[in-house]
Amino acid sequence: MTDLGWIDEKGEKGKNTRLEIYSLIKDQKVMAYVTDDKENYVKVVTAVSSNGTQYLKTEADSSEKNNLLSLPECK
Protein backbone atom coordinates (compact mmCIF):
# COMPACT_ATOMS: atom_id res chain seq x y z
CA MET A 1 0.00 0.00 0.00
CA THR A 2 1.65 3.22 -1.15
CA ASP A 3 -1.23 5.72 -1.47
CA LEU A 4 -4.51 6.22 0.31
CA GLY A 5 -7.55 8.06 -0.97
CA TRP A 6 -9.73 10.06 1.37
CA ILE A 7 -12.93 12.10 1.59
CA ASP A 8 -13.21 14.77 4.26
CA GLU A 9 -16.31 15.96 6.11
CA LYS A 10 -16.91 18.60 3.42
CA GLY A 11 -16.93 15.96 0.67
CA GLU A 12 -13.55 16.99 -0.75
CA LYS A 13 -11.47 14.10 -2.10
CA GLY A 14 -7.73 13.60 -2.25
CA LYS A 15 -4.90 11.12 -2.25
CA ASN A 16 -1.75 11.02 -0.11
CA THR A 17 1.11 8.63 0.43
CA ARG A 18 0.93 6.12 3.25
CA LEU A 19 3.65 8.02 5.13
CA GLU A 20 1.90 11.39 4.71
CA ILE A 21 -1.30 9.93 6.17
CA TYR A 22 0.73 8.19 8.89
CA SER A 23 2.26 11.54 9.93
CA LEU A 24 -1.07 13.37 9.89
CA ILE A 25 -2.67 10.75 12.14
CA LYS A 26 0.39 10.40 14.40
CA ASP A 27 0.60 14.19 14.88
CA GLN A 28 -3.15 14.22 15.66
CA LYS A 29 -3.91 16.59 12.77
CA VAL A 30 -6.57 14.25 11.36
CA MET A 31 -8.62 11.25 12.38
CA ALA A 32 -9.15 8.52 9.80
CA TYR A 33 -11.80 5.84 9.46
CA VAL A 34 -12.60 3.04 7.04
CA THR A 35 -16.25 2.44 6.19
CA ASP A 36 -17.98 -0.51 4.58
CA ASP A 37 -21.03 -0.66 2.33
CA LYS A 38 -23.29 -0.79 5.42
CA GLU A 39 -21.78 2.45 6.81
CA ASN A 40 -20.01 0.61 9.63
CA TYR A 41 -16.72 2.27 10.40
CA VAL A 42 -13.50 1.48 12.20
CA LYS A 43 -10.71 3.86 13.19
CA VAL A 44 -7.35 3.86 11.37
CA VAL A 45 -4.35 4.08 13.71
CA THR A 46 -0.57 4.21 13.35
CA ALA A 47 1.80 1.37 14.18
CA VAL A 48 5.50 0.53 13.91
CA SER A 49 6.75 -2.95 13.02
CA SER A 50 9.58 -4.66 14.90
CA ASN A 51 12.00 -3.55 12.17
CA GLY A 52 10.86 0.10 12.38
CA THR A 53 8.49 0.29 9.40
CA GLN A 54 5.74 2.84 9.99
CA TYR A 55 2.36 1.62 8.81
CA LEU A 56 -1.38 2.06 9.21
CA LYS A 57 -3.83 -0.45 10.58
CA THR A 58 -7.40 -0.48 11.81
CA GLU A 59 -8.40 -0.90 15.42
CA ALA A 60 -9.71 -4.36 16.22
CA ASP A 61 -13.36 -4.84 15.33
CA SER A 62 -15.73 -7.75 14.79
CA SER A 63 -14.45 -8.38 11.24
CA GLU A 64 -11.91 -11.13 10.57
CA LYS A 65 -10.69 -9.47 7.35
CA ASN A 66 -8.08 -6.73 7.08
CA ASN A 67 -10.19 -3.57 6.66
CA LEU A 68 -7.49 -1.57 4.85
CA LEU A 69 -6.26 -4.29 2.50
CA SER A 70 -9.80 -5.21 1.49
CA LEU A 71 -10.48 -1.73 0.08
CA PRO A 72 -10.49 -1.13 -3.67
CA GLU A 73 -7.61 0.74 -5.31
CA CYS A 74 -8.02 4.53 -4.92
CA LYS A 75 -8.25 6.44 -8.16
What are the tens digits of pLDDT across the range 5-42? 888 889 999 999 999 999 999 999 999 988 877 787 88
Helices (H), the chain: 18-26
| C-alpha separations of 63 from 16, 39, 46 in Å | 26, 14, 19
Q: Does pTM surpass 0.85?
A: no
Domain spans, the chain: 3-58
